[in-house]
Amino acid sequence: MSLDLKILNGNIIDGTGNKAYVSDIGIKDGKIVEIGNLSSNLAKETINADGYIVTPGFIDLHTHYDGQISWDSELTPSSIHGVTTVVTGSCGVGFAPCKEKDREKLITLMEGVEDIPGSALSEGINWKWETFTEYMNAIDSIPHTIDFAMQMTHDPLRVYVMGDRAVANQKATEDDIKKMAKILREGLISGAVGFSTGRTDNHKSGRGEDTPAAEASVEELTGIVQAFKGINHGIIQAVSDFDMLKGDEFFDKEFDVLEKMALVSNKPLSISLMQRDQSPNQWQWIIKRAEEANSKGINIRLQVGARAIGVLLGLETTFQPFMGFPSYKKISNLPLEERVRIMKNPEFKEKLLKEKNEKLAGDGSHIPPLADILLSQLDIIGMRMFKLGEKPNYEPEIKDSIGYKAKQKGESIIGALYDALLEDEGKALIYFPLYNYTEFNLNNLYKMINHPLSLPGLSDGGAHVGTVCDASFPTFMLTHWCRDRKGDKFNLEKIIKNKLKT
């Protein structure tokens, strides 16, 4: 038999948890047909994997490729990090079902929530669908280098059924709920792998509105998931900040809502887990409630990030420290080169640094209120901002921060942030870890990743293109967590079995 591909001398970690071993692999028609002594010397292609690890493809269960998947067959950057299956339709946002008149509405929503440029979506999406089944068929008709599984999403479903009433403060009627359940059921039967909903105050549409399903009642959520009755597959994914901004006393009430959805649907529920500064112990409560639910037979899984969830700041990204300062606002539309030239002028710098951030969030703005809170205290958050550089360190110590270094030298922190932005001709990036970094290390994240109920799942592949790129999480899990990290590490066999090959 002649093979299509031979992979020789690789250090094979097969995903079973067994110890790595050096061997050869023969592939024919897209399948592994031999491991060990290959029966044939003939192969169309040979890869010498001496000194490399060879693993199964990885699954990224939380992405936002819903638009990109309709025009990009390669689904980069996920595919270049060893991901062979992406799950789309996360957090309640997506593009189907959708009536013609609502297309712009869904684009504005995705633009605001996931920071995907509306212009790219408008130009890229061909809208060869109205129903979810038509959407899946349209995507299926385009060849893709990797596999994908699609969840149906709450916001488009709500807009499809409720039209202009699909705004956060409007309750769905009994009839609306029945219709949404019926449409979800049709989607599930056609092959949707689940249903997702978004309940966070940090997600805003491109016009600054709450997402349509953000305040959905327990009746609506439990009513919609009736759709799963008698269907043998499917999961539910939800993102919530557990009403943290309203106060920690709301935590259990919100968890109850999510748990009820899992109970009624009798399907696994997957929710986000992270440490948030505003409520630093919340992650432990989430774990505790998930453990309790599982002991009652309610299957709840926790999606964790591979590193701190943060933003990259720079003159070419969506956010940067001075974006709300009046002098900067005046030049914000100029080409990069021009802005850098003006900002290098000492008089401009002096004037700008005396100013204050003007409010960016609010009516008509997709910028979350958290941004204004942060930008009004640059002197403090500068202690948690780091130069990213060519070789990023995603677990830096406080002494590495721009703010700390400036303080040590007796210099102004905001002046140092300003100068950092201008490095590399204005192309330099500042790393600002927002979540999972309350204590300036990833020790708590280690505990989260190590938890038996957790799965890596917050890559947000395809989204937040102007702020972050965590689609590289499989590579980061292998390099940082299994090789480079100082402190607790994982072993490759375990991380590949339990965390990357779900």
Q: Which residues bind Zn ion (CB under 5 A)?
A: 90-91, 460
Residue 109 CB, nearest approach to Zn ion (Å): 13
Q: If we measure between CA atoms, which residue out of 351, 305, 299 comes closest to residue 325?
A: 351
Q: Which two tokens stand for residue 34?
A: 């031999």
Task: Rank residues 309 and 406 by Cβ distance to Zn ion and give the closer one.
Answer: 309
Residue 63 CB, nearest approach to Zn ion (Å): 8
Check: CB of residue 116 under 8 Å from CB of residue 467: no
Residue 209 CB, nearest approach to Zn ion (Å): 18
Residue 216 CB, nearest approach to Zn ion (Å): 17
Task: Rank residues 27 and 59 by Cβ distance to Zn ion and give the closer one.
Answer: 59
Task: Considering only CA atoms, give the Rg of the chain.
Answer: 24
* Cα dist from 393 to 52, 116, 275, 337, 396, whole Å: 23, 26, 20, 27, 6
Task: Rank residues 102 and 460 by Cβ distance to Zn ion and give the closer one.
Answer: 460
Task: Rank residues 460 and 493 by Cβ distance to Zn ion and give the closer one.
Answer: 460
Helix spans in 322-363 (H):
326-331, 336-343, 346-353
Task: Rank residues 201 and 460 by Cβ distance to Zn ion and give the closer one.
Answer: 460
Beta bridge partners of residue 386, listed in sequence order: 431
Check: CB of residue 171 under 8 Å from CB of residue 109: no
Residue 62 CB, nearest approach to Zn ion (Å): 6
Query: Which DSSP letter does residue 41 get?
Result: S
Residue 89 CB, nearest approach to Zn ion (Å): 10
Task: Rank residues 90 and 222 by Cβ distance to Zn ion and give the closer one.
Answer: 90
Task: Rank residues 91 and 367 by Cβ distance to Zn ion and give the closer one.
Answer: 91
* Residue with the CB atom nearest Zn ion in the bound state: 91
Task: Rank residues 59 and 315 by Cβ distance to Zn ion and give the closer one.
Answer: 59
- Sorted by sequence, the CB contacts under 8 Å of residue 410 that are 6+ apart come out as none
Residue 241 CB, nearest approach to Zn ion (Å): 13
Query: What angle is formed at CA 409 by the lines to CA 405 and CA 411, rounded to 5 degrees?
Result: 90
User: 3-12 and 21-28: which strand pairing?
Assistant: antiparallel
Residue 324 CB, nearest approach to Zn ion (Å): 25
Distance CA 227, CA 434 (A): 36
Residue with tokens 């201008």: 422
Distance CA 159, CA 163 (A): 5
Q: If we measure between CA atoms, which residue out of 251, 221, 219 comes closest to residue 236?
A: 221
Q: If we measure between CA atoms, which residue out of 211, 190, 186 comes closest to residue 200?
A: 211
Residue 198 CB, nearest approach to Zn ion (Å): 8
Query: Which DSSP letter does residue 212 get?
Result: T
Residue with tokens 């890596």: 456
Task: Rank residues 133 and 318 by Cβ distance to Zn ion and give the closer one.
Answer: 318
Q: Which two tokens stand for residue 206?
A: 């491109």
Task: Rank residues 90 and 317 by Cβ distance to Zn ion and give the closer one.
Answer: 90
Q: If we measure between CA atoms, which residue out of 56, 94, 63, 97 comes closest to residue 78?
A: 63
